[in-house]
Chains A and B, each alone.
Chain A
Amino acid sequence: MAGGRGEVKELEILKKEGLSTLYPERVKISVGRATCGRAAGAEDVYTFLQDVVARRGLEWDVSTVGCLGFCQGEPLVTVQQPGWPRYVYSRVDRRLAEQIVEGVAAGKLPKRRLLGKIYSDDLLLTGEKVDLAPEGDHPLEKNPFYGPQVRIATRNCGYINPESIAEYVARGGYLALKKAVQMQPEEIIEEVVKSGLRGRGGAGFLTGKKWGFARAASGDVKYVICNADEGDPGAYMDRSILEGDPHTVLEGMAIGGYAIGAQTGIIYCRAEYPLAVATLKEAIRQAEKQGFLGDNIFGSGFSFRIRVVEGRGAFVCGEETALIASIEGRMGEPRPRPPFPAQKGLWGKPTNINNVETWANIPPIIMRGGDWFAGVGTATSSGTKVFALVGDIKNNGLVEVPMGTTLRQIVYDIGGGTGVFDLKAVQTGGPSGGCIPASLIDLPVDYDALTRAGAIMGSGGMVVMNERSCMVDVARFFIAFTQDESCGKCLPCREGTRQMLELLDKICKGEAEMSDLELLEELAYAVKDTALCGLGQTAPNPVLSTLKYFRDEYEAHIRERFCPAGVCRELFELTVDEEKCKSCGRCSEVCPQGAIVGEKDKPYRLDQDKCIRCRACLNTCRHKAIRVVPRRRYQPR
């Protein structure tokens, strides 16, 4: 074949090329330039580094990588030179960038904002190990954020240049596809079944089983779809994979296409992810050029093409039947199932839909085997899960941990805890999920344990909330989200969430009666039972789970007209706790109203008439000396 397209030889050539840029014989500085890095100023650091290196006439590589996951410390920069470990720096600005360049030139790298050092790379897919330097101090694995993590889906994120197919191949990429097209489709499905992989989009259905349905469906034309319409507030796992390692998704889809008997793959990616869309398109172009996508892949006779379709910002289009409608150019509205997409999907043909993270797990499963994957995680939830750890937590970021890791490990060991204020709840699963109270902190995180606790795994959003969060307000936030995103087709979702929001607004304003609480609960169950699609059926979950664990807080809002967390503005006042006040004056500094005054060695005083209850003092005081108390003009009922 001309140019060795899709030949095995091509993999070898690419691997060599990739290794030469992954481990060059000169200094290489890589900047994490995914969206999160860019938001923190990575572009400035990147161009600055390029300028400095050029100005000094240095023959160094300044390269791009995806996201290493430590969002708290963006922009992240790694420095690599022959014979040295790879240094990982956080919160890099121009000054630190300059110091790094000087440090490399002087042979002594700065210690400031050093996250850790990487001494060797373990290549998950091939089992190879690349030693950079002999073991030494500050290994990155000792960093509490990275230590407990096991990176399978995000194995390449932050390590390779997402725009280089060669670097992907150098770390074992496309070997799984090569292996797969030499297997029988049934063997592949068998392997995925054996792995126990469950859909990472939220519902947790067994991926292998789903593939089996699509394979068994009759029809010559079939489709595989990658659901990249990630929409849960605070969740960005899929974006990070698409921006940091697009080829793993393409490879996974090609394997799935071969197993199911599909010729076309479609990635439905939200348009709000412009970088992910651009990265994907470039990756598809490169993979087609190399013959990993296109006709007769690896000489097997299997042909497969992938295209990207951009979603236009409707949350409900993450639901698979709405997603299909959107691709077909119709309004993004769900339709009843059955028929399931496996029987009647895109253009009425059998269709298999998996989310980004699910596809990213496919190449490792094919390379290492289903049994290996099943050995990670718990019995009913195998493998790892990527979480977007956000909220009131010290280290927010993307973390990939084996299933069964406890909440405590995630929040305290990896996340570094909640700081001055105590943990109150962890919200998982986005608007479809629920709040797990701090008392269940030792809960192992897997599909079944989370469901039993009244939450769900969801796509991986994990919002940590401290004692300053009002659970009624949290429920209200999520209902406001779902009612805004409801497509409006079915009555319970459209009108039900609207009335639930109305009731929650009433409670948060202190205008509700206890009968409203009963009504809210009854309505929540009815919406859950009768809504047409997953969005509506799960929309009441934030309300039901907070009612389950924090009913007293709802009751305080209604009976005492008091918001104990000090969030619902009509329902609290702030005062200074004279015994706890250390007269440090920080509250006074942040108060925009000048409502808190005081002098040294005497407790500060808060003027209620001036206070607008903005909570600035509450969140600033390290001594917890600002107290939340009921408003005096309200009398308890």
Chain B
Amino acid sequence: MITINGREFPARDGETVLEVARREGIWIPTLCHHEGLNPYGSCRICVVEVTAGGRPGLTASCTLPVSDGLVVETDSERVRRCRQVLVRLLLAMAPNAPVVRELAEKLGVTDTPFKRLGADKDGCILCGLCVRACEQVGAYAIGFAFRGVRRRVTPPFGKQAAACMGCRACEQVCPTGTVKFTESGDRLFGDTWQAELQVVRCPECGAPVGAQPLFGHVREQLDNTGIAVENLCPICRRKKLAGEMAAVCVQPK
């Protein structure tokens, strides 16, 4: 059992405070958190105040494992004040990112007193979601380089991302829209990672269905399962499936 905001909740071993709060409908803002990815604890927006049963003070709830007798406050004065400072720092980094603006609004912040330093980063807030997504998809095409304010996400040695499969998971999870891919003809460009990939087209209708290496990867992963991979686009796949189903299910009288 753990106590959140004065109320007791059951918790399972290995759960984080954030997970319990989410399940119980208690709002804790997050930014670098994603349910599908390993917790990382870099944005600190999800801080809660531990008042008993642990080291007293503020700590990120996304990486705080539950323990019996833990008592936390998710909306204390101290928590609110710190979150406001953090979101002001974020506003100085990515003033135009909708996700940051939205978060600021929810936390009652309209403006930042901080100067925008290092404006060359085009809104990247270094949350690390793209890096973790890439890692957990299994591509390891990008990572962090340098430290402190020089830190950035980059393919190895700042060169073209050779290991990029074009799965676009990084683009999908990026909260600020910094990571971008563009399609042009038969090529898919991972603009942020300087990746250039061959587009696979649907053999039926010719619509683009994804990047070449991704299909190779998926095929590799499915090799032993006996599942055939076809390059069909979703519409053609449905058509084909419908035909096959009809042949099997609809018995002629």
Q: Does A529 contact B92, Cβ atoms closer than 8 Å? A: no
The segment out of A257-265, A416-424, A454-462, A493-501 that lies at the interface is: A493-501
Q: Interface digits, A499-522 against B, CB 8 Å rule (1 contact, 0 not)?
A: 100100000000000010001001
Q: Does B44 contact A491, Cβ atoms closer than 8 Å? A: yes
Q: Does A526 contact B42, Cβ atoms closer than 8 Å? A: no
**B90 partner residues in chain A, CB cutoff 8 A:** 491, 495
Q: Which chain B residues (3-22) contact chain A, with CB distance < 8 Å?
A: none
Q: Which chain A residues (455-493) contact chain B, with CB distance < 8 Å?
A: 483-492
Docked pose: A164 CA to B197 CA in angstroms = 62
Q: Please pick, from B41, B59, B63, B149, the residue contacting A488 in the complex, using a CB distance under 8 A.
A: B149
Docked pose: A34 CA to B180 CA in angstroms = 55
**B151 partner residues in chain A, CB cutoff 8 A:** 487-489, 494
Contacts A491-B86, A491-B125, A530-B82; A499 near B117 (Cβ below 8 A): yes
Q: Interface digits, A519-534 against B, CB 8 Å rule (1 contact, 0 not)?
A: 1001101100111100
Docked pose: A331 CA to B156 CA in angstroms = 13
Docked pose: A487 CA to B78 CA in angstroms = 25
Docked pose: A529 CA to B81 CA in angstroms = 10
Assess whether A629 is interfacial by the CB under 8 Å rule: no
**A519 partner residues in chain B, CB cutoff 8 A:** 113
The segment out of B140-148, B207-215, B233-241 that lies at the interface is: B140-148
**B42 partner residues in chain A, CB cutoff 8 A:** 489-491, 532
Q: Does A499 contact B92, Cβ atoms closer than 8 Å? A: yes
Assess whether A449 is interfacial by the CB under 8 Å rule: no
Docked pose: A498 CA to B44 CA in angstroms = 17
**B64 partner residues in chain A, CB cutoff 8 A:** 336
Docked pose: A531 CA to B100 CA in angstroms = 19
Q: Which chain B residues (146-184) contact chain A, with CB distance < 8 Å?
A: 146-151
Q: Please pick, from A316, A487, A523, the residue contacting B85 in the complex, using a CB distance under 8 A.
A: A523
The range of chain B's interface size is 35 or more
Q: Please pick, from B44, B117, B125, B128, the residue contacting A531 in the complex, using a CB distance under 8 A.
A: B44
Assess whether A14 is interfacial by the CB under 8 Å rule: no
Docked pose: A485 CA to B148 CA in angstroms = 7
**B43 partner residues in chain A, CB cutoff 8 A:** 490-491
Q: Interface digits, B100-135 against A, CB 8 Å rule (1 contact, 0 not)?
A: 000000000000011101100000011010000000
Docked pose: A526 CA to B78 CA in angstroms = 9
**B149 partner residues in chain A, CB cutoff 8 A:** 483, 486, 488, 494-495, 498
Q: Which chain B residues (175-202) contact chain A, with CB distance < 8 Å?
A: none
Q: Which chain A residues (299-343) contact chain B, with CB distance < 8 Å?
A: 314, 316, 331, 335-336, 338-339
Q: Does A488 contact B150, Cβ atoms closer than 8 Å? A: yes
The range of chain A's interface size is 20 to 34
Assess whether B65 is interfacial by the CB under 8 Å rule: yes
Q: Please pick, from B57, B59, B85, the residue contacting A526 in the complex, using a CB distance under 8 A.
A: B85
Question: How near does chain A come to B45, taking the closest CB pair, in angstroms?
Answer: 8
Q: Which residue of A lies closest to B62 (CB)?
A: A336
Q: Which residue of A lies closest to B114 (CB)?
A: A499
Docked pose: A494 CA to B127 CA in angstroms = 12
Q: Does A486 contact B44, Cβ atoms closer than 8 Å? A: no
Q: Please pick, from B63, B144, B147, the residue contacting A336 in the complex, using a CB distance under 8 A.
A: B63
Question: How near does chain B come to A562, taking the closest CB pair, in angstroms?
Answer: 24
Q: Does B89 contact A499, Cβ atoms closer than 8 Å? A: yes
Q: Interface digits, A272-291 against B, CB 8 Å rule (1 contact, 0 not)?
A: 00000000000000000000
Q: Please pick, from A336, A486, A530, the residue contacting B86 in the complex, using a CB distance under 8 A.
A: A530
**B92 partner residues in chain A, CB cutoff 8 A:** 495, 499
Q: Interface digits, B220-231 against A, CB 8 Å rule (1 contact, 0 not)?
A: 000000000000
Q: Interface digits, B29-59 against A, CB 8 Å rule (1 contact, 0 not)?
A: 0000000000001111101000000000111
Docked pose: A267 CA to B230 CA in angstroms = 54
Docked pose: A440 CA to B42 CA in angstroms = 38
Q: Does A488 contact B58, Cβ atoms closer than 8 Å? A: no
Q: Which residue of B lies closest to A314 (CB)?
A: B147
**A522 partner residues in chain B, CB cutoff 8 A:** 81, 85
Q: Which chain A residues (403-444) contact chain B, with CB distance < 8 Å?
A: none
Q: For A336, A339, A522, which residue has the most chain B Cβ atoms within 10 angstroms? A: A336
Assess whether B60 is interfacial by the CB under 8 Å rule: yes
**A530 partner residues in chain B, CB cutoff 8 A:** 44, 47, 58, 60, 82, 85-86
Q: Please pick, from A314, A316, A336, A499, the residue contacting B60 in the complex, using a CB distance under 8 A.
A: A336
Q: Does A490 contact B44, Cβ atoms closer than 8 Å? A: yes
Q: Does B117 contact A498, Cβ atoms closer than 8 Å? A: yes
Q: Which residue of B lies closest to A331 (CB)?
A: B144
Q: Does A494 contact B41, Cβ atoms closer than 8 Å? A: no
Docked pose: A496 CA to B86 CA in angstroms = 8
**A316 partner residues in chain B, CB cutoff 8 A:** 147
Contacts A488-B146, A488-B150; A529 near B60 (Cβ below 8 A): no
**A335 partner residues in chain B, CB cutoff 8 A:** 41
Q: Interface digits, B68-98 against A, CB 8 Å rule (1 contact, 0 not)?
A: 0000000000100110011001101100000
Q: Does A529 contact B147, Cβ atoms closer than 8 Å? A: no
Q: Please pick, from A338, A485, A490, A496, the residue contacting B41 in the complex, using a CB distance under 8 A.
A: A490
Q: Does B147 contact A492, Cβ atoms closer than 8 Å? A: no
| 4 other A-B residue contacts (CB within 8 Å) besides A336-B63, A525-B82 | A485-B147, A486-B148, A488-B148, A498-B118
In the A-B complex, the 8 residue pairs with the smallest Cβ-Cβ separation, listed nearest first, are A488-B151, A526-B85, A336-B63, A495-B89, A486-B148, A530-B44, A529-B58, A488-B148
A-B contact pairs, 20 of them (CB 8 A): A331-B144, A339-B65, A486-B149, A490-B42, A491-B45, A491-B86, A491-B89, A491-B126, A492-B85, A498-B117, A502-B115, A519-B113, A522-B81, A522-B85, A526-B82, A530-B47, A530-B82, A530-B86, A532-B42, A532-B60
